[in-house]
Amino acid sequence: MRNQRTGLKICIKMLVILALAASTHADTITARNQTDRFLSLFSVVRFKNTGCTGSSGDSGTCYAKHTCLFNGGNLEGTCAGGFGHCCVTKIGCGGVSRNNCTYIESPGYPNTFSTAMTCKQTIMFNRDVCQLRLDVTEVDLAPPDNRGMCLEDVLTFSQDIKWSQVCGTTLNTHYYLDVDPDTSTKLDFDFNIGAGPYPRKWKIKVSQICCDQLSMAPMGCGQYFTSTTGTIKAWNTDSADRVYLHGQNYATCLRKEIDRCTITYTETMGDWFLPRCGDTLEFPFNIIQQNNPATGITCLGPGGVSPVLRPATASLQGPQQIYFVTGDGTNNHVDVGQNSNLDLEFSQGAC
């Protein structure tokens, strides 16, 4: 009797210790063990909170049932050998989530709405998270004015200064926000929607990237590609007039892939995008000057150049960074030749 009690006490202590030792990115549950009733009634099962695909086709994270429900997620099938549940989390206006891979959605998504409102959606994260990756299914807000100012609708972020404002239409791409968990362990998406009749909607998946994670983008990279081909897209490249936005200040970064020695950039719109003088689009190896060797001027304006239709290829010696800084605020962004926004395909060639 005495021995049994001591055994039980040790067992309970072990449970507590194991629960405390569990990392913040793993869940610990106690499961009744049917096969070995006499030695241990309960066993501790610990599994990592890895990504999963829910029954709806949306992405989720494998969590214990109580972790998922407590944080406002939906159970969409099992994972971790049946001990975890694929937890798909979606938040609307006023929503707060600390689940990895949370979707932020507009009111009534996938329907559109057109009533004036402010809408705050908040992602909470742990101290070891340094970036949020936004996978944009769609962001469809009222377009900017001719100077790229978001006067009708605007999305702003409470951390990071890469984009001081976002509006217009952007589909099927990704962006990275750098966050500083020492300053604040939350990031607000603040949508300020005007009264105009534009039909709005948005859906963005927000993944939390740990500071020590290999897939972290280099700091300051608003887009980060780790593939041999892809499409670089600034915000608002999918609207009808494609006006580039004011208040952008970031780099698009491409990793040099194994056994790749050249890089070719091709305009999807048929001619090169050049911002107005006062704003900057800067390629490594002066790839735009290569297209316009005579002038060396890389912007449109008085004495500026005409965009040239051709793919540009350069040797690939290391990672590529393309800087896009739009700070003038008075420029008319509309009559920039045919092409008025940054939208480029790239392909890394063999050695």
Question: What is the C-alpha separation between 316 and 256, in angstroms, rounded?
Answer: 7
HSE (CB half, 13 Å, CA atoms) of 272?
A: 24
Question: What is the C-alpha separation between 196 and 213, in angstroms, rounded?
Answer: 43
Q: How far is the CB of 293 from ligand NAG (least distance, A)?
A: 43
Helix (H, G, I), strand (E, B) or coil at 330: coil
- Calculate ∠ Cα 206-207-210, nearest 5°: 140
Of 141, 134, 140, 104, the C-alpha closest to 122 is 104
Q: How far is the CB of 116 from ligand NAG (least distance, A)?
A: 34
Q: Does 207 bind ligand NAG (CB under 6 A)?
A: yes
Q: How far is the CB of 81 from ligand NAG (least distance, A)?
A: 9
Q: How far is the CB of 215 from ligand NAG (least distance, A)?
A: 6
Q: How far is the CB of 126 from ligand NAG (least distance, A)?
A: 7
Question: Which is nearer to ligand NAG, 13 or 48 (by Cβ)?
Answer: 48
Q: Does 298 bind ligand NAG (CB under 6 A)?
A: no
From candidates 208, 339, 341, 348, binder to ligand NAG by CB under 6 A: 208
**What's the 3-state SS for 256-289?**
CCCCEEEEEEEECCCCCCCCEECEEEECHHHHHH
From candidates 28, 71, 97, 100, binder to ligand NAG by CB under 6 A: 100
What residues does 96 pair with on adjacent strands?
122
Of 37, 323, 343, the C-alpha closest to 162 is 323
Q: Does 131 bind ligand NAG (CB under 6 A)?
A: no
Q: Per-residue x/- marks for ligand NAG, 49-78, CB under 6 A?
A: x-x---------------------------
Q: How far is the CB of 286 from ligand NAG (least distance, A)?
A: 36
Q: How far is the CB of 317 from ligand NAG (least distance, A)?
A: 29
Instruction: Give the CA distances from residue 191 to residues 24, 104, 150, 198, in Å, rounded to whole numbers and listed in that order.
Output: 30, 11, 11, 14
From candidates 33, 229, 295, 306, binder to ligand NAG by CB under 6 A: 33
- For residue 101, give the DSSP letter: S
Helices (H), the chain: 2-21, 65-70, 287-291
Question: What is the C-alpha separation between 255 and 318, in angstroms, rounded?
Answer: 7
Q: Per-residue x/- marks for ligand NAG, 304-323, CB under 6 A?
A: --------------------
Q: Count of CB atoms within 10 A of residue 80's CB? A: 21
Q: Does 31 bind ligand NAG (CB under 6 A)?
A: yes
Q: Does 169 bind ligand NAG (CB under 6 A)?
A: no
Q: Does 213 bind ligand NAG (CB under 6 A)?
A: yes
Question: Which is nearer to ligand NAG, 48 or 310 (by Cβ)?
Answer: 48
Q: Does 43 bind ligand NAG (CB under 6 A)?
A: yes
Q: Does 101 bind ligand NAG (CB under 6 A)?
A: yes
Q: Give me the residues that bind ligand NAG (CB under 6 A), please.
A: 25, 31, 33, 35-36, 43, 45, 49, 51, 100-101, 129, 207-208, 210, 213, 215
